[in-house]
Amino acid sequence: MTSTAEDLERRDTRYLAERLGECCRTRGVTVTAAESCTGGGVASAITAVAGSSDYFETGYVTYANGAKARLLGVSTSLLEEHGAVSREVVEAMVAGACRDSGAGLAVAVSGVAGPGGGSPDKPVGTVWLAWGSASRVRAECRHFPGDRQAVREQAVKAALAGLILSLADDRPDTVVGSR
Enumerate the domain spans of the chain: 5-168
Instruction: Please report, in tens digits, the pLDDT of each residue of the chain (179 residues total).
Output: 357 888 899 999 999 999 999 999 999 999 999 999 999 999 999 999 999 999 999 999 999 999 999 999 999 999 999 999 999 999 999 999 999 999 999 999 999 999 999 999 999 999 999 999 978 899 999 999 999 999 999 999 999 999 999 998 654 344 344 33
CA nearest neighbour of 163 among 16, 6, 13:
16
What is the Cα–Cα distance from 131 to 20, expressed in whole angstroms? Answer: 13
Q: What homologous superfamily does CATH list for 5-168?
A: CinA-like (3.90.950.20)
